[in-house]
Structures are given as C-alpha cells and as structure tokens.
Amino acid sequence: MKILVADDSSTVRRVVSARLSADGHDVVEAEDGEQALTLARDLQPALIVLDKVMPKLDGFEVVRALREDPKTKGLVIVMLTDRRGEDDVLDGLGLGVDEYMPKPFSPRELSMRVDRALARRGDG
Amino acid sequence: MDSVRYVDAALIVVVLALLVALVTVRVRAQRRRTRLAVARERFETLIAARLVGGEGVPAPPPADLSALERGALRDAGIDALVELRGRERERVAALLEEGGVVDAEAQALRSAGPDRRRRAADVLGLIASPATHEPLRAALEDRDVRVRLAAARGLAELGQVDDEWSTTLIADAAAYEHRLGAVAELVLALGARAPARLASVYFNSGSSEVRRIVVAVIGELRLGQHVGILREALDGDDELAARAARGLGLVGDVESTESLLAVVRDPGRSWFVRAAASTALGQLGDPAAVDALAAELRAGEWPRRRAAAEALARLGPAGKAVLRSTAGLETEAGRHAVAALDA
Amino acid sequence: MKIYLALTVAYFVAFAIVHTGLLLLAWRQLRRAARVASVTALRRTVRSPLAPPISIIVPAYNEEAGIVDSVRSLLALDYPSTEVVVLSDGSTDGTVEQMIEAFDLRPAHRPTPPFLDHRPVRGVYVPRGRLKLILIDKENGGKADSMNAGTNFARFPLVCFIDADSILEQDALVKAAIPFVEDPLRTIASGGVIRIANGCRISRGRVVEKNLPRSPLAMFQVVEYLRAFLAARTGWSAVNGLLIISGAFGLFRKDAVIAADGFSTDTMGEDMELVVRIHRTMRELGREYRIVYVPDPVCWTEAPESVNNLRGQRRRWQQGTLETLWAHRRMLFNPRYRAAGLLSMPSMLIFEVIGPIIELGGYAVSIVAALTGVISVGTFLAFLALAFLYGMVLSLGAVVLEDTAFGRNPRWSDLRRILLYSVAENLGYRQVTHLWKLEAFWRLWRGGGWGTMERKGLSREVQDSLASEVGMR
C-alpha cells in the first residue's frame, strides 16, 4: 500500500521508510506539515504516519485539515508523539487519529500497528 | 576635538574587520554544512538499513572516517537512539560501536575542556552498550562535577548502579547546589532503571533537597515499592511532607488515609502541606475523610478550602452531600463547593 | 561649545565601550549555550516528568480576529504539561463568543483566588471536553490588570505571559523552561527573543515561512532589535542585571509574581517595572536568584509599520522606562542591588534617558559650531562620522553575533539587506527614535505627575518553589 511518512527528523523518516518498505509498502516522505498535506492530497496514500511536532503545520492541524477535506477524509492516520499522558491520546482520537504511537518507539511495533490499522479500516 | 579623526579611523578599521569576519565565517560554515549534510544522509541510510537488515549491513571502518564524518555518524546515531526503543536500539548502538564512535568518545573523555568531556559522557550514556561501561566508570572520577554527573546518569540508565557511589555522588552533586536539575535527572534515571537504589539514596543523603527529589520521583513514577519512604517522609519538614502527601495520592496508598487525616487536622502544619494532604485524600477515595475535609472547607487559607472542596467531590455520595449542603450558603466555602460540584 | 562637543564624543566612546562589553559577554554566553544545548537535552526536558507545568496567560482585548487560532496553536505546543488561561479584558467585540464557539465552552462557577487584586470577573468558562483551557471574562482594566487576574487563576507553578497576537515557535516554551529545570532553586524568570513577523507567511497560528519584512520601517526595527535586544539583553543577563522581560513572551515563577504583588497598573512599562521590582524584592529578602534571557526560544510579533504607530510605541516604552527608573530610584548606584542597581539601571539611565539628549544636543551644537567657525568643517564631518560609526559598529557586531550563533539568515540576499539597513538605521532612524524618547520625557514632565508612587519592595513572603507548587495546584 502507499504510505506517507511525515516527520521533521530525517533519521526517523529514514528508519520508518526502511521498515515499511521492507514490509512491502510504497513509501513517500514529507518533512513538514505543509508538505504532508500537499502530498496527501496529491498522492492519496492509504495511510499516513505523522509526527505530532513539525514545522510549518503541526500534526494535529494536519489531521484536522485531512479530515475536513473530502478527498482525504478516509485516510488512516497513525500519529507519533513525544508527549506522555492519556489526555493527548484522547484528544488525538477525538480528532480522528486511528492509532497513536508514543516515542520512543520500536519500528517493528510501528510496523505491526500500521498493519493493524490498515486491516481495521479494510473491514470497517 | 581633532583627535576625533583617529577615533573614526579606528572604528572604520573595526567595521571592515567585522565585515571580513562575517563573510569568512559564513562561507566556511556553509561549506561545512554541505559536507556534514552529505555525511549525515549517508549514515542515516546506513542506520535505517541496519535496523531492517541486521548484522548483514556492515559499518564503515573507523579508520576511513574523518573527524567530521565520525561526528555525523555519532549525531545520526544519537538521533536514532533518542527516538527508538527495544532491540532496535541495541542494533544502532552496535553500529556506533563498530564505526568507532564509542572509542572516539571514550578518547574525548580525556580531553581538556569540561564541556567536551561532559558531552562525551552524555553520548556514551545514551549509547548504553556494554562497551560504554568502562569509560563511564572511569569518568566517575573526573575532576569536574558535571562530567561525573553525566557519567553517573549514563550508568544509571544502564542499570549499573551500586549503593556506594550513587549516594556519595548525589550528595557531592547536591553540595554543588546549582546542579540540582542534574541531580534530579540522575535520581530520575535511578528511579526508572534501578528503583531499588532510591531507598539507599534517600536514607544516606544528607541533603534535604535530594530527599525531596527522591520523594517527588517516587510519586511521579508511581513506585509503589517505596511507599514506606513516602509514609516516613510525611513526618518530615513541611516541604518534604507536602511532596510525600502528593506522592501517596498518586501511588494510591489507601493505608495512609489515617496519617493523611492527621496532617489535615494538624494546626501546626503549613497550609500547603494540609492542602496537599486533602488533595491526596481525594485521590484515595476513602469516605472516612469526609468529616475532616468538611471542616477544611472553612479553613483560613484559600488553597486549603479549594483542595478540600475538590477532594470532597471525589469521595462519593457522602462527600457530594456535604458539598451540596454547603453550596447553598453565600460564603467562601459555599463558592468553593459550587465550583467543585460543577467541575 | 567645544567642551560640549568633547563631552558628546566622550559619551559616544563610553556607549561604544559598554555595549561592546555587553556584546562580548553575549558572545561568550552564546558559545557556551551552543556547546551545552543539544536536541537530546531538549527532548529529555520535554519527556521528563519533573519538567514544571506551565500556565500560559493570554490577556486579550478585542481580539476576535485571531484569538482562536492563537489559542489553538498554544494548546498544541510541544511541552509536557500546560494550560491556557485566556482573559478577555472587557472586550466589546466577539472575542468571548468566538472562544465559546470554537472550543465548546460552558459557563462555570469558579471563585476568584485572592492572591492578587484586579478588576472584577464577570464570568468563567471551561471546555466541555478535555482541553486544558479556561476563559475569564472580566471588566476592563488594562493589560497589567489582566495579567494579574491570569496569575490568580493559574493552576501551575510557572506562568508564561504572552500577547494575544504573539506566535510562539513549537519549542519556545521548552527552551524558556530549561533554566528552571537546570537551576530550580534560583531561577525566577526567563525571557526569550522577540522576532519580527512582518513579511513572514503565517498560517493557522504558526509561522510557516520566515522572510524579512518588505516595509523599510519594519526592516529598521529588525536591525534595531538585533542590536538592542539580542546583544544587550543576553549580555546583561550574564551578570544577572537583566531589567526587562518582554510582555510579549516571558516565563515567571508564579509565587515570585505574587510575592512582588503582581504587575503595576499605573505605569506604561509594567513588564520592566515588575522585573526591576523582583530584583529589588529578592535583594531585600537576601535571597539568591537569577533572571535569565535565553537567546534561543523564539516568539514572533507584528511590528508597527506606520510611523505614527511606531512613534506611539516608542513613546510608551520610554515612558515606562522613565516611570520605572523613577519609582525605583533608590536602587540606582546602590551596591545593595548589585548588578541591577550598579550596572544596568545606571546604564539605562545614562544611555537611554540622558544619552538621547546629549546626542541630539551634540548635533545641534556641532552645526552651530561649524557655522560659526568654532570648529572646522573637517572636524564637523569627523564628528558626524563618529556619530554614525559608533552605532554602526554595534549594529554590525550584533549581526555577526546572530549570524555566527544561530545562522538564521541563510540567504545571502537577506544578509545584504540586513547590512544595508544597518547602515541606514544609523543614518537617521536611530536619531529619530531619540527624538521620540525626548517627546516622552517632555510629556511626562508637562503632565505633572509621574504616575507611580515609590513602591515598597517587600510585601509577602516568597514561598519555596516546592511549597507553592504543591499548595497551589
């Protein structure tokens, strides 16, 4: 499946891309919120892995914009975040984030969550 | 007045010198940035490949790397280590080791500038692989306290802590008062990786600030095994007791209800300890506290009244009943009750 | 006349020396900060459960246009634990309604905490959801009054005051909080760099593209801010003599603000007045403390682009400076107040208050002297050159400082523009601002009263940080 990875840290992007590519997905990278939004609209990926904190537009704003746009409303969203605390999980889920992955993270666990999220959407 | 010309001349020279400096520094910085970016990209790809491919992906031979490149490998590695967890983390650490980063940083631990040594200790602590134990242990003897602290934190992250040095080090660091933040980080690392050690730190440290930090960490990390420390700290000075009360509420130690009630009722205690105890009682949820808290609604200090009102709201029907009956009154207590019911 | 001119020259040289000293101090500070700070240090702070929670206080008057975006971006800041306290200072437009609608707020009963005095509260609104936000609608009382009300309602031990139209960078709060994490016993307040947003592309409450402003007036201010703020404030901060933390972005310990009795409502420069009063209070209590200027955390704000607005702003600032210096005049040259009393306050008095008079007088006298032949034309030109050069050297020094420390102007065209405007700034803009400072002085003098009474230093006990943190949560 086509997956968009958006994070301002190039290390994280590369690590996640390598992992997901090895899983057989077709990965595109974005380095800030604005680029993420543009690429999401143009390329219509099946899933987006999104960092919460990014320059230009941060994660929650991107989620809000994606859900408001009919073209990208159905996109599956997995969000990476630095913050601890359940408050953010709930906020995120309220907005329409499908999975929430706290940092520090394990790429293999991320890979499993991506598969799970895609499977869930496939059923629903 | 004529000498003004000389002053002018001098200033013109300074201006020109600054301009030259500006341009030179910028040009050099830009060149460096480009080289760094190339190296960085190369190593990020390498790290990502290693994570997926395992040992099959070889590290660059250390001899082939320039200092700049090794720095780029180190920084890319650190960025990855900070973001990652679990077995993948170990793979990155191994890669850094093979690439000669650990050796380079161990070498840097012997350099002249304390800032460089401190950064080396930080990096080694972050890498936290078996190869970093030795250099970090050696750094515990460094003449600069900040380097010692950075090394200690690294070892604490490794879980490689023994009582003797942990307590002396912390006491030593606390004596150098300005580094309280670093002490807090060290205690936090101990709490996270070797929580059992916190007890010895608490009982052996002469510094009240350190004990306060230990109690705070126990509460924040909800280390139930140390509830004994919290209970004991409740008898300590007000600063310590307030932290302990907060911790008991966070940990959820229902057996402390009686002690907390004693604190709330004790007129000899400061307002903030009694308020903290009220909040904790609310978190513990034992309705036995209702009467004492009802009395607190009419306390002298505003924070005590608020804490009591908020706690009563969490004590079930009995607590809410008290609030409702008070809410009708046009008093301060009444207003707090209304707010608490409203929340 | 020659004597006066010689005096002026001496003043220029003194100014150059003092400010070069500050520049060098700032240089050293920045080098050290660059070595110590790292991305990992920031991330560690962000993830640490011991990072102090912050209440962000936003005083707002008639801000219906941008308040929702502003608050939304504040709620999304990268910091472990924050709450946003918005105060509508008797707004007559739709500020309150916009907030209620956007964040799904409902009216709540909250008794007003008694710690600081302020105009009465008309209503309190809280979200139905889990956002950490509270809106307080109060009677109009001015910015200082609103900040005091915000401090009252703040639940956390640190309070961050920002303007309703300030835009904070994602990591601004973390960077501003680091001094409190490293040195929790002594740090009382920290402030960050204010940068000029004119010309930047802003979207949904964030600066999306950083550009230099097109307007010349704004460009002058960009250059001026570099010289006056970055270099000078970092320098003063290094000796614990920082006198002002901008109301546009400042982080304070709540208990210290309360102990100092909050912001003064009868001065134009309430931000400076509070900081000076904190210096005073701490010294009088004999407590070790520090007030830090952190050159890295960034807050963006709109600078005035019309001459009238700029003039008004500068008059207000100068009035605030004068009022503060007068209200705390006992601190001047008083060794009891260490760096603040012996160094930065006298420096402010000499270079910001008296200086403009000397300089403008110098121009006038030199023209007369040249016309009447007291000095030669050559000397006259040399004098003018000096007047230009002493400022130019400092402007250039600040540009070098910023460029080497932060590299914030990667484009050569941007650098060229900044350098050009540095030259122009010293060839007239600076002198005009001096004129406006004099205007403020004149108005205050004519106005009769100085506005502020001599304020008492001590009023309440300063609680230990842990005590207040626990008790006031």
Contact A104 B82 (CB under 8 A): yes
Q: With bands split at pLDDT 50, 70 and 90, how would you rate the model's confidence at C342?
A: very high
CA angle at B334 for the pair B331 and B335, rounded to the nearest 5°: 95
pLDDT value for C453: 42
Confidence (pLDDT) at C452: 42
C198-207 pLDDT, tens digit each: 988 887 778 8
Q: Computed from CA positions of residues B230, B235, B236, B239, in that sequence, does the dihedral angle turn out positive or negative?
A: positive
**Nearby residues of C284 by Cβ (< 8 Å), 6 or more positions away:** C336, C457, C458
Q: How far apart are CA C279 and CA C286, in angstroms?
A: 11
Chains that touch B (3 or more CB pairs under 8 A): A, C
- Is the interface score ipTM higher than 0.85? yes
Q: Which residues of B touch C186 (CB under 8 A)?
A: 178
Element holding B229 (H helix, E strand): helix B227-233
B85 vs A105: CB contact, 8 Å cut-off?
Answer: yes
Q: Which residue of C has its CA nearest to B244?
A: C470
C408–B contact, CB cutoff 8 A:
no
Whether chain A has a CB inside 8 Å of the CB on C352: the answer is: no
User: CA–CA separation, C389 vs C381, rounded Å?
Assistant: 12
Residue C454 pLDDT level (bands cut at 50, 70, 90) = very low
pLDDT in tens, A100-110: 888 888 888 89
The first and second tokens of residue C378, run together, are 């050559």
C85-89, C145-149, C168-172: which range is least confident on average? C168-172
Strands C121-127 and C201-203: unpaired
Of A18, A19, A104, the CB nearest to B85: A104
Q: Give contacts of A52 with chain B, Cβ < 8 Å.
A: none
Banded model confidence at residue C458, pLDDT cuts 50, 70, 90: very low
* Distance (Å) of CA C21 to CA B92, B323, C15, C84, C230: 46, 62, 10, 39, 13
pLDDT of residue B142: 85
Residue A17 has its nearest CB partner, among B48, B79, B82, at B48
Q: Which residues of C351-379 are buried (b: 16+ CB within 10 A; e: fewer)?
A: bbbebbebbbebeebbeebbeeebbeeeb
Contact criterion met (CB < 8 Å) for A85 and C206: no
| Residues of chain B contacting residue A11, judged by C-beta atoms under 8 Å apart | 44, 47, 76, 79-80, 83
pLDDT over 50 at C455, yes or no? no
pLDDT given at position C346: 94
CB C340 within 8 A of CB C469: no
Rounded-to-integer distance, Cα C440 and Cα C312, Å? 9
Q: Which pLDDT score is estimated for C253? A: 94
Q: How far apart are CA C245 and CA C255, in angstroms?
A: 17
Task: Specify whether the CB–CB gap between A41 and B115 falls below 8 A.
Answer: no
Q: Looking at the 3D structure of chain A, how many domains does it have?
A: 1
Is A55 at the interface with chain C, CB within 8 A? yes
Distance from CA of C80 to the nearest CA of A (A): 6
Q: What's the whole-number mean pLDDT along residues C389-395?
A: 89
CB B155 within 8 A of CB B140: yes
Residues 6+ apart with CB under 8 A from C251: C54, C158, C159, C160, C173, C176, C177, C180, C189, C190, C191
* CA nearest neighbour of B192 among B229, B161, B171, B230: B161
Q: Is A38 an 8 Å CB contact of chain C?
A: no
Would you call A15 and B85 a contact, using CB atoms and an 8 Å cutoff?
no
Low-confidence winner among B44-58, C91-105, C326-340, C348-362 (lowest mean pLDDT): B44-58
Q: Write the CATH number for A36.
A: 3.40.50.2300
Q: Do B119 and C470 touch (CB under 8 A)?
A: no
- What are the CB-based long-range contacts (under 8 Å, 24+) for A86-92? A87/C130, A87/C132, A88/A52, A90/C130, A91/A60, A91/C130, A91/C131, A92/A60, A92/A63
Q: Provide the token pair at A5.
A: 């990875």
Q: What is the mean pLDDT of residues C246-262?
A: 91
**Most confident listed range (A85-94, C53-62, C382-391):** C53-62
C464 pLDDT exceeds 60? no
Q: Which residue on chain B is closest to C124 by alpha carbon?
A: B339
Pick the most confident of A62-76, C79-93, C396-410.
C79-93
Q: Look at residue B174 in the predicted model and tell me its pLDDT.
A: 62
What pLDDT was estimated at residue C465?
Answer: 37
Q: Do A106 and B47 touch (CB under 8 A)?
A: no
The average confidence (pLDDT) of chain C is 86
Query: What CA–CA distance (Å, rounded) separates B186 from B170?
Result: 8
> Could you say which residues of chain B have pLDDT below 70?
1-2, 161, 163-169, 171-179
- Cα–Cα distance, C332 to C335 (Å, whole number): 9
Which residue does chain B place closest to A102, by CA atoms? B83
Q: Do C130 and A87 touch (CB under 8 A)?
A: yes
* Candidates B5, B213, B339; nearest CB to C382: B5
Cβ separation of B44 and A108 shorter than 8 Å?
no
Asked if A8 reaches chain C (Cβ–Cβ under 8 Å), the answer is no
User: How many degrees, rounded to 5, is the angle at CA C246 between CA C187 and CA C124?
Assistant: 90
pLDDT at C37: 59
Q: Which of B104, B169, B182 is nearest to B141 (CA)?
A: B169
* CA proximity to C281, closest of C250, C252, C259: C259
CB A44 within 8 A of CB A71: yes
Predicted confidence at residue B163, as pLDDT, reads 64
Q: Is the pLDDT of residue C470 over 50?
A: no
Residues in A closer than 8 angstroms to C46, CB to CB, are: 82-83
- CB contact under 8 Å between A58 and C76, yes or no, is yes
CB pairs under 8 A between B and C: 148
**Residue B337, token pair as written in the block:** 């009750």
pLDDT mean over C424-431: 90
Structure confidence at residue A29 as a pLDDT band (50, 70, 90): very high
pLDDT band at C377 (very low <50, low <70, confident <90, very high): confident
C100 or C466: whose pLDDT is higher?
A: C100
* Closest CB to A9 among B41, B47, B83: B83
Please list every residue in chain A whose beta carbon sits closer than 8 Å to the beta carbon of residue C81: 85
Residue of A nearest to C42 (CA): A82
C167-168, strands of its sheet edge to edge: C105-108, C121-127, C133-138, C82-89, C54-60, C158-162, C249-253, C187-196, C290-301, C167-168
CA max distance for chain C:
79
Is C105 or B163 the better-scoring residue by pLDDT?
C105
Pairing of strands C249-253, C187-196: antiparallel
Contacts of B222 in chain A (CB under 8 A): none
Residues of C in contact with A51 (CB under 8 A): none
The confidence score (pLDDT) of residue C456 equals 40
Residue B175: what pLDDT?
A: 62
Q: Which chains touch C (3 or more CB pairs under 8 A)?
A: A, B
- Least confident range of B187-201, C246-260, C310-324: B187-201
Interface of C with B in 127-186 (CB under 8 A): 181-186
Residues from B contacting A (CB-CB < 8 Å) are 40-41, 44-45, 47-49, 51-52, 76, 79-80, 82-89
Q: Cβ of B7 and C9 within 8 Å?
A: yes
- B258 burial (CB, 10 Å; 0-12 / 13-18 / 19+) is exposed
Would you place residue C473 in the very low, low, confident or very high pLDDT band (cuts 50, 70, 90)? very low
Cβ separation of B84 and A22 shorter than 8 Å?
no
Token pair for C157: 């031990």
CB atoms < 10 A from the CB of C107, how many?
13
Nearest chain B Cα to C130, which residue? B343
Which pLDDT score, from 0 to 100, does residue A91 have?
Answer: 64
Listed in sequence order, the residues at least 6 apart from C307 whose beta carbon sits closer than 8 Å to its beta carbon are: C217
Q: What domain range is A63 assigned to?
A: 2-120
For residues B209 and C182, what is the distance between their CA atoms, to the nearest angstrom?
14
User: Do the chains contact at C47 and A52, CB–CB below 8 Å?
Assistant: no
Contact A107 B88 (CB under 8 A): yes
Q: Kindly provide the b/e burial profile for residues A87-122, where b requires at least 16 CB atoms within 10 angstroms of the residue's own CB.
A: ebbebbeebebbbbbbbbbbbeebbebbeebbeeee
Whole-number pLDDT of residue C62: 92
Chain A environment of C204 (Cβ under 8 Å): 57, 61
